Structure 1
Amino acid sequence: MTDQAVRPRVFYGWFVVAAAFAVTFVGFGCAYTFSTFVEALQREFGASRGSVSLVFSLAGFLYFGLGVVSGPLADRFGSRPLAVIGMLLTGLGFVAASAARSLVEVYSAYGLGVGLGVGLAYVPAVGAVQRWFVRSRGFASGLAVSGIGVGTLVMPPLAALLIGELGWRGAYFALGAIAAAIGGGLALLIENDPRGCGLAPDGDPPASVALSPCAEGATIGTAIRSAQFISLYAACLICAFGVFVPFVHLVPFARDLGIAPPVAVLLLGVIGVGSTMGRFFLGGLADRMGREKSLLMMFAGMALALSIWAVSGNLSLLVAFAFIFGVFYGGWVAVLPAVVMDYFGGRNVSGLIGILYTSVAFGTLIGPAAAGFAFDLNHSYTLPILASAAANIVAALIVIVTSRISVKPPLT
């Protein structure tokens, strides 16, 4: 029997990519509807914009910070059970939030439910994709996380429609059902490692399994003490203070300019369009031009976009900001896991991605809430937006320093 006869017609790695796409689409797509709910939550609970923004910040802290736990668990026990449980918890969090009687209950239900759920699912799903590809890793990673971009395009307008028809409580209940059914169901397709299926990365002949790099890699201790990891951590920490501010405050910003609610919500969809394009095209471009150089480009691009937002006084500039920001934000999310795999190998890739994402967790916890409280004090977003742009410039400078460090941890 020839090798061609025994090889599957469709490489299973692409099913893993599709499952990770579904997890990111449902998890982040639902989470990034939050800006659509800000006004309704303010009215319902008589709350300030800063205190409502803290709901998203707490959830974001958990779904990025929990990777430090879910990543190593996925390396040890497999990604599928964590992803399935995570999607079910996400659905439960939305359903519980729909019944909240105070803002504190929203903090608990949305923050803990959605935060823990996405945190359990995201890093294991994305980490699994890294093991299935070598030559096309940037493209595959970009395709997997493009679910975030498509979710940002589709879910906020859907949430606005649901709020109009069902109220904010009914909308949260419906989003919870979608997260549990679609996300939990498709997460069952995730497989942790091609070697467990008798396959090799990139769909190469199974005879090359023994040579697969998936078993190679630096230990977690060696990796986190390396200059590369420390620099990446610092860059992502500083960048994250500003990256998630638009997902909470762009719709209220547009509403303050007098833009109608349905149009304001569509700005999140524009971020989604740009993000999808960035993840799809810039992920593949990074495979050709170098993923480390591409990461620098993403930080610089986000700084440029945020600078446009700072001077936006009309819908046209806001659309331009949303699209440009989406492109480079999407590219950042796509390239970062592949850079970790390039630096440290595949043995502990999920664990290392999870540890790295704790930096994003701290930035997410502080950035959107701080922007909201700054607005409450000054009735202006100018200062937090400019601070967000400056943070990305600093992150780009850190990446430049990282690129000049030639010694990498040994892959054992």
Structure 2
Amino acid sequence: MTDATGVPRRLFYGWWVVAGAFAVTFVGFGSAYTFGAFAESLQRDFSASRGSTSVVFSLAGFLYFALGCVSGPLADRWGSRRLALTGMLLTGAGLVAASFARSLAEVYLAYGLGVGLGVGCAYVPAVGAVQRWFSRRRGLASGLAVSGIGVGTLVMPALAALLIAQLGWRGAYAVLGVLVMVVGAGMALLIENDPHDRGLFPDGDPAGPADPAQRAAGMSVREALGSRQFAVLYGACLLCSLGVFVPFVHLVPSAMDHGVAPSSAVLLLGVIGIGSTAGRFFLGGLMDRMGRGRALAAMFIGMALSLAIWAMATGWWLLAIFAFVYGVFYGGWVAVLPAVVMDRFGGRHVSGIIGALYTSVAFGTLIGPSAAGFAFDISRSYTVSILASVVANLLAAAIVLAMPPRGALRSA
């Protein structure tokens, strides 16, 4: 590519930041979402119920979303690269430690704390950094960055199943841990906080001398938390997240309950990954055109409708259709949410605001998958849990559609 004078243009560094964030989400969330592949082995070896085993994932999920309210402000102050690098090292160490667990309680400590704290340190800083590097193409860039979650969900569970078959679940956790530390930590070095630090401007656009006020545009974390718009987003995300991660924990066991072979059941997580990747890649640009607030509501509605398919599915193909459609809208939700935060509250403290918002997802993740597991232990069915998730997503969509307009930043 050349500029108007014929001089070759360098690739805008913002895309390297996107690549770093992609890698962090790929190995971080990809490792976390392998849990469905390990669930049967953990349940068998530790003589545990489905509910108590699913607490492992819920604990990790709670931590990696709740920690965003700490890692986000720290990234705004210290830089996203340090937090992302630390997070990847913690995630890898947690997976390796899980391979030595002698009880389910030790898996809680190793996997739950290691992966939970690690992803929590890395995710919000990495995604928050991307928001500052783009304006017109923020939806696209955010979608590409978090598409690492979708690709990781496609690749990592299948890799985990292969490793479990060859090395057992302990060896599989050890290999995954080393992979995270090498790939995730290495790519985290590409992440930088702000284009102005390199004398650049969002989207790589040419501009005049850097305006200090431009860098500080936006609300403080305290101002954002006191706004009506934040309260609306928080409530919607809390409702959605009560059910959003239930498939990642329970889809594989649910498929096996319907007679699907374990090797085929694990592939369903990969199908979610395919759909999620498609949603993040192809919906990002569409969201920029249709309006990111309306797009967020559409993602909630799409997840609700797809979950209704799961409630009726018994065979592999119908489960696969659910997994793909659900993945598309789940991926779109993850992609659009940080961009909505940037749109509504500005970039001055975007990582801190995203982190505060993600505590809603933390509480939902802590409750939802484990509650679905214990409900199954009682009723031997996932129907009630799935239908509750449908209703929660529809309520979340209604709340977002009633959100105050962008300029209405009054206190709640």
- TM-score > 0.5 by shorter chain: yes
Corresponding residue for residue 53 of structure 1:
54
Corresponding residue for residue 11 of structure 1:
12
* Contact kept? 1:198, 1:206, Cα under 8 Å: no
- Distance of 1:127 and 1:215 partners within structure 2: 15
Post-superposition Cα deviations, 1:148-173, rounded to whole Å, max 9, x if no partner, equal 00000000010000000000000000
After TM superposition, list the pairs within 5 Å mapping 1:355-394 onto structure 2. Answer: 355-394=356-395
1:123 aligns with 2:143: no
* Contact kept? 1:213, 1:346, Cα under 8 Å: no
Moved over 3 A (4+): 2-8, 211-214, 403-406
- Distance of 1:116 and 1:154 partners within structure 2: 22
1:259 aligns with 2:252: no
CA distance 1:84–1:8, shift in 2 (3 Å)? farther
Letter of the 1:182 counterpart: V
- Distance of 1:27 and 1:70 partners within structure 2: 15
Corresponding residue for residue 247 of structure 2:
246
Q: How many angstroms does 1:7 deviate by?
A: 8.4
Post-superposition Cα deviations, 1:42-84, rounded to whole Å, max 9, x if no partner, equal 0110000000000000000000000000000000110001000
Corresponding residue for residue 306 of structure 2:
305
Letter of the 2:171 counterpart: G
CA distance 1:311–1:125, shift in 2 (3 Å)? same
Q: How many angstroms does 1:145 deviate by?
A: 0.1
- Distance of 2:406 and 2:195 partners within structure 1: 32
- Distance of 1:407 and 1:48 partners within structure 2: 48
Where in structure 1 are there 5+ consecutive unaligned residues? none
Corresponding residue for residue 166 of structure 1:
167
- Distance of 1:120 and 1:6 partners within structure 2: 40
Corresponding residue for residue 314 of structure 1:
315
Q: How many angstroms does 1:395 deviate by?
A: 0.4
CA distance 1:266–1:12, shift in 2 (3 Å)? same
- Distance of 2:326 and 2:404 partners within structure 1: 24
Q: How many angstroms does 1:323 deviate by?
A: 0.5
Corresponding residue for residue 205 of structure 1:
206
Q: How many angstroms does 1:212 deviate by?
A: 7.8
CA distance 1:212–1:110, shift in 2 (3 Å)? same
Greater alpha carbon shift after TM alignment, 314-323 vs 290-299 = 314-323
Q: How many angstroms does 1:207 deviate by?
A: 2.6
- Distance of 2:278 and 2:213 partners within structure 1: 30
Post-superposition Cα deviations, 1:92-111, rounded to whole Å, max 9, x if no partner, equal 00000000000000000001
Corresponding residue for residue 285 of structure 2:
284
* Contact kept? 1:159, 1:171, Cα under 8 Å: yes
After TM superposition, list the pairs within 5 Å mapping 1:20-169 onto structure 2. Answer: 20-169=21-170
**Aligned-residue CA RMSD (Å):** 1.6
Letter of the 2:93 counterpart: L
Q: How many angstroms does 1:315 deviate by?
A: 1.3
Letter of the 1:231 counterpart: V
- Distance of 1:167 and 1:214 partners within structure 2: 50
* Contact kept? 1:149, 1:275, Cα under 8 Å: yes
- Distance of 2:215 and 2:274 partners within structure 1: 33
Q: Secondary structure at the match of 2:309?
A: helix
- Distance of 1:129 and 1:39 partners within structure 2: 37
* Contact kept? 1:128, 1:191, Cα under 8 Å: yes
- Distance of 1:211 and 1:343 partners within structure 2: 20
Letter of the 1:74 counterpart: A
* Contact kept? 1:213, 1:345, Cα under 8 Å: no
- Distance of 1:378 and 1:198 partners within structure 2: 60
CA distance 1:260–1:233, shift in 2 (3 Å)? same
Where in structure 2 are there 5+ consecutive unaligned residues? none
Aligned length in residues: 409
Letter of the 1:183 counterpart: G
* Contact kept? 2:375, 2:382, Cα under 8 Å: yes
* Contact kept? 1:200, 1:212, Cα under 8 Å: no
For normalisation by structure 1, the TM-score amounts to 0.97
Q: How many angstroms does 1:282 deviate by?
A: 1.1
Q: How many angstroms does 1:209 deviate by?
A: 3.4
1:195 aligns with 2:196: yes
- Distance of 1:351 and 1:208 partners within structure 2: 27
Q: How many angstroms does 1:390 deviate by?
A: 0.8
Corresponding residue for residue 332 of structure 2:
331
Q: How many angstroms does 1:4 deviate by?
A: 6.3
* Contact kept? 1:215, 1:346, Cα under 8 Å: yes
- Distance of 1:140 and 1:212 partners within structure 2: 24
Letter of the 2:289 counterpart: R
* Contact kept? 1:71, 1:124, Cα under 8 Å: yes
CA distance 1:85–1:39, shift in 2 (3 Å)? same
1:401 aligns with 2:402: yes
Q: How many angstroms does 1:214 deviate by?
A: 3.7
Post-superposition Cα deviations, 1:293-325, rounded to whole Å, max 9, x if no partner, equal 100100000000001101111112101100110
Corresponding residue for residue 182 of structure 1:
183
Corresponding residue for residue 220 of structure 2:
219
Letter of the 1:35 counterpart: G
